[in-house]
């Protein structure tokens, strides 16, 4: 199998190519990957794939050599200089010291006290969602998993209840743009939206090609005009203490504010939308570990960490070399793309014993699913709170949970997600 297979989105429709990653770690841990055309997207210049744990950590902690800002953090280059300039205003796409300045604004909304208060409401919501599955006897657990982070985000951002579905659609369109089912997501019913939500929808542009025939970048200001119209309307009268109130008072530029809203609305829920159903599917496919967890619920914390290692919600992130350098025996030139693969690093056999084995009691478990270095995920604690809450209630209320059909994966070379996970509540297993 060619190294280019790790770039092609369709590869991931059947699973993360761990066997290929394993071979490349052994033979070409830093290797050149071509970017062939995909659908309507043109070919790219190619990039260096970084596959070993130590090298991944080195890249992530060295922003002066491997920049988030120069070319942003997606493999695919922005379409225009204007698009690049816009996405550079996102915290995710900045380097120190600007990155730290914006991060401080957001961190103000996630003090330890604020997160402790959130734990109570998150637990109640998770319990209610699992109770619904118990009563119905069956569900698509992806929909269950999507509800909790979207509900939590709406709560912390001050988004009215009736507009929550907008967050779901925006996330689908951005994280699933390589998947036909998600690329044009429009599930929010205008009749049920607030006046602010309906007004925002009027700014939404139908999917269209650029004048040169290429698709419009789903992360551009043009493609997300409805999201940004909503962000400004919500900031006009934010709920006191909400994230939006902190953003409004944080001295951000217009582009920084819009990109921060983007980051919360999309990145703030994609980890859970991928991690919860992916982790549950992993448990269901490892019945011995599921049974062990049912016998010993105190393993919930370590189990969540192992779910994150074994099913990393994000497959990779990009950096751009600021100067000529060397990594893993390869000469990397200034301006070349360098893509770290979290999914490969989490299975590095030099760090994790028997890495392809799923072990709910694994320790230590220093995975990189939340990144490393200055860009370590700001919402990692809240993500863990939500995952633990769902898992606790599943163990308590759905002891006989089982698969009710074939899971369907998201087509994406960036997000390790499921679109459908049919489950049913079977007979409780013997203790």
Tell me the CATH number at 46. Answer: 1.10.630.10
Model confidence, pTM = 0.94
Q: Is residue 87 part of a domain?
A: yes
Tell me what the pLDDT averaged over the chain comes to: 92
Q: Is residue 8 part of a domain?
A: yes
Model pLDDT for residues 114-130, shown as the tens digit of each residue: 778 889 999 999 999 99
Residue carrying the six token digits 């044009």: 184
pLDDT cut 70: percent of the chain above it: 97
State mean pLDDT over 247-261: 88
Q: Is residue 408 part of a domain?
A: yes
Q: Is residue 207 part of a domain?
A: yes
161, 151 contact by CB (below 8 A): no
Q: Is residue 246 part of a domain?
A: yes
In whole angstroms, give the CA distance from residue 398 to residue 32: 46
Longest dimension (CA), the chain: 64
Give, to the nearest 10 degrees, the angle between helix 254-262 and helix 225-235.
110
DSSP conformation class of 205: P
Q: How many domains does the chain have?
A: 1
Q: Which two tokens mark 196?
A: 């602010």
Element (H, E) at 219: none
List Cβ neighbours of 226 (8 Å cut-off, separation of 6 or more): 166, 170, 200, 201, 202, 203, 204
Statement: residue 250 has pLDDT above 70: yes
**Which SS3 state, helix, strand or coil, does residue 156 take?**
helix
Q: By residue range, what is the domain housing residue 398?
A: 3-425
Statement: residue 209 has pLDDT above 80: no
Q: What pLDDT score does 210 carry?
A: 59
Statement: residue 232 has pLDDT above 90: yes
Q: Is residue 409 part of a domain?
A: yes
Q: Is residue 206 part of a domain?
A: yes
Q: Is residue 431 part of a domain?
A: no
422, 140 contact by CB (below 8 A): yes
Residue 25: phi, psi to the nearest 5? -60, -35
**Which stretch of 50-64, 146-160, 331-345 has the lowest confidence by average pLDDT?**
146-160
């Amino acid at each position: 199998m060619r190294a280019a297979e790790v770039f092609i989105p369709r590869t991931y429709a059947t699973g993360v190519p761990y066997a290929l990653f394993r071979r490349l770690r052994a033979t070409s841990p830093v290797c050149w990957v071509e970017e062939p055309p995909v659908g309507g997207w043109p070919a790219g210049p190619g990039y260096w794939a970084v596959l070993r744990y130590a090298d991944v950590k080195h890249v992530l902690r060295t922003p002066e050599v491997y920049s988030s800002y120069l070319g942003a953090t997606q493999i695919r280059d922005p379409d225009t200089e204007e698009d690049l300039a816009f996405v550079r205003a996102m915290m995710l796409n900045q380097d120190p010291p600007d990155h730290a300045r914006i991060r401080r604004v957001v961190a103000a909304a996630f003090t330890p006290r604020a997160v402790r208060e959130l734990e109570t409401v998150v637990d109640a919501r998770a319990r209610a969602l699992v109770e619904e599955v118990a009563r119905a006897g069956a569900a698509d657990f992806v929909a269950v998993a999507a509800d909790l982070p979207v509900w939590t985000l709406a709560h912390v951002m001050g988004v009215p209840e009736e507009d929550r579905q907008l967050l779901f659609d925006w996330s689908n369109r951005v994280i699933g743009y390589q998947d036909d089912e998600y690329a044009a997501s429009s599930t929010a019913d205008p009749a049920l939206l607030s006046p602010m939500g309906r007004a925002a929808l009027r700014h939404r542009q139908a999917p269209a090609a650029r004048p040169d025939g290429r698709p419009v970048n789903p992360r551009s200001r043009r493609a997300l005009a409805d999201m940004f119209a909503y962000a400004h309307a919500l900031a006009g009268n934010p709920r006191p203490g909400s994230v939006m109130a902190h953003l409004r008072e944080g001295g951000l530029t217009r582009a920084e504010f819009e990109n921060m809203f983007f980051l919360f609305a999309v990145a703030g829920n994609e980890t859970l939308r991928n991690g919860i159903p992916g982790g549950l599917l992993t448990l269901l496919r490892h019945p011995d570990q599921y049974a062990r967890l049912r016998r010993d619920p105190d393993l919930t914390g370590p189990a969540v960490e192992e779910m994150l290692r074994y099913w990393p919600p994000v497959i990779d992130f990009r950096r751009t070399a600021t100067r000529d350098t060397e990594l893993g025996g390869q000469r990397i030139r200034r301006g070349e793309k360098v893509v770290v693969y979290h999914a490969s690093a989490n299975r590095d056999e030099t760090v994790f014993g028997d890495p392809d084995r799923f072990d709910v009691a694994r320790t230590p478990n220093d995975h990189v699913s939340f990144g490393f270095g200055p860009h370590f995920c700001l919402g990692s604690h809240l993500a863990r709170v939500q995952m633990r809450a769902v898992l606790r209630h599943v163990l308590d209320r759905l002891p006989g949970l089982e698969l009710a059909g074939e899971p369907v994966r998201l087509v994406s070379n960036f997000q390790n997600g499921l679109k459908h996970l049919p489950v049913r509540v079977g007979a409780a297993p013997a203790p």
